[in-house]
A and B are shown apart, each in its own frame.
Chain A
């Protein structure tokens, strides 16, 4: 475990030094949250919105989404890893006595956690202090809160497993742009980052539930806001586990295969 813990530590500390990026991210996310809430407010006022997801739940959903963006957004790429693949610096990575899948998994995990660590608390604090219809509400009970934390963390493990597949695909395509844009777009949509899943039509919601994406973002946010009850939450944790195991093993196997066929070009 020592190599992986150390890689995690170094990357986490490295991530913490990018203060300007964090500040910029904060501003964007705050602005985005305000904008989204106003737009949805217009929808809610004009009617035609499902009764199952009230405005206060929506506001909470949006604020949590913005605060924990780094943990739940698929579109968070580590350019260092892509560069390693395309530039050939991967040579060094392969000279390490480590399992490459595990090693990169840990790196991605720590990058997300360090960037979330810098960003989430200011957004949460400000969102808690906002006037009533726009403020972030507290969870209904300590159990809800614990379930939120648990599903958020499992969701993080799941989203890293999903993004690992994109990194692995880069070994074949040599350019991350295609798979990134495709999976990024599709994944964000089906994880409820574009439109909250409770606001989607029934059939689309069914599609979301089949795919792995909504178990990363939509699930923890709705548990917190009270839109998903304790029973469903506990079952969902099981689903998260299954997805993590399936996708991580698939990734580990694929990684083993591609690295055996790898061609480090040049030099």
Chain B
């Protein structure tokens, strides 16, 4: 009998990383199905392009990052580069790819999709060291890159195709239309079900909520970030609603919740564990930061949308939140007080900040 040297513990749980990641893929099914139902072939082709680009480029970059064995034959050297290649190197870029495809408009030119997906996977992920080492959300980075580089395609001035190729229901607010009238164009119910223009995956809150339920039941996403971001967002928007439209504050809140990319971003993007802090209070703070930033960008920024920006911006704060000197997993009273205080301060900021019309 041969004895093997090991150290305790000698047993492991059966849950694996690939199971957690597969859960995210499954949770994306309702959103993808709705996108295909609404946009048909346009959606399918963009999802496929994005998948091929992300998985393919990750594989290429992965091979380039490994040290090959010294060997005469090219094939052997190539093979040795892929010894550590695992199922996670397919599932994880697939998630990023689908999320990326879901946050772009259905009429976006294919080359723009390729550019965004390439930027996301190469610059935001593989250059940082691949799976687990990236500090920015891959899909958000890709989306923001094409959003900034190819602004015209998103702003609604893109004359060749649909006038509202990139517009979401929120664009109506930004373009000067006052809020109560916006409800005439799109009712809250339309927004909830997804009967509005917008990026492919973002429009149906219903499909997203089904995905969220699955993720939470399987415990593959942390409810803390979701809850924290939604609470922060709702409190701040409700305050604004109370000031601007005292009679319709709740529909104002509903409008902001279901229009645009907030729901999708909160459920699928900010729950990405790789770019989240690792402690309970840290995740609450992270959600708070995202919620506040989304509100600030929506109310005071030049963009009608802000989830991707808010997410990337908050990603930068993760190392700060996790700084060993003060990071702790205990929920201390100081943290609770601080959380409420910050929320109150930003509540005052937005309440007195929104002077006239939005």
Asked if chains A and B come from one complex, the reply is: no
B-binding residues in A (CB < 8 A): none
